[in-house]
């Protein structure tokens, strides 16, 4: 009788131990999403400059809805002390400019209200703000953002 009780007790203990640990959860691997940040200071007529911070999420080959951005602009020492501008939206890849048909241009379109921004990719670490007609400004070197 004691042997049977001992075996039954051992079986119950093993069963409870198995239930307590439960199935082992496998950590889910998250896909790494490409994120690239650029920063720079743009000229300003009424202030010491506009600090611009742009973060682009996604890759050129990603689906359009997966390519998002945030853009933050801060005015340094502006007499009217305007609030920072913060935009979110999607970005597109455009091909070519009037002077270079092989150039890569990023079009950043904010959700809701806000200005559409166009950036020419100078190289892997530099973007330059250009006009909506995809033309470079005369002072283009002062309109560049550097990859962080």
* Model confidence pLDDT, tens digit, residues 85-140: 999 999 999 999 999 999 999 999 999 988 999 999 999 999 999 999 999 999 99
Structural fold of domain 35-147: Lipocalin (2.40.128)
Which residue ranges make up each domain of the chain? 35-147
Full-model pTM: 0.76
Contacts of 65 (CB under 8 A, 6+ apart): 90
Cβ–Cβ < 8 Å for 129, 116:
no
Rounded to 5 degrees, φ, ψ at 57 are -110, 135
User: Rounded to whole angstroms, how far apart are CA atoms 120 and 90?
Assistant: 16
């Amino acid at each position: 009788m004691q042997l049977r009780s001992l075996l039954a007790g051992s079986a119950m203990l093993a069963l409870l131990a198995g239930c307590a640990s439960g199935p082992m959860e496998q950590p889910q691997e998250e896909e790494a999403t490409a994120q690239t940040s650029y920063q720079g200071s743009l000229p300003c007529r009424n202030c010491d400059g506009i600090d611009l911070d742009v973060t682009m999420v996604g890759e050129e080959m990603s689906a359009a809805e997966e390519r998002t951005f945030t853009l933050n602009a801060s005015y340094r020492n502006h007499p009217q002390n305007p609030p920072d501008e913060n935009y979110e939206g999607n970005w597109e890849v455009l091909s070519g400019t009037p002077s270079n048909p092989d150039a890569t241009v990023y079009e950043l379109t904010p959700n809701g209200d806000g200005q559409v921004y166009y950036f020419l990719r100078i190289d892997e670490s530099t973007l330059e703000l250009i006009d909506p007609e995809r033309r470079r400004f005369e002072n283009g070197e002062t309109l560049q953002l550097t990859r962080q």
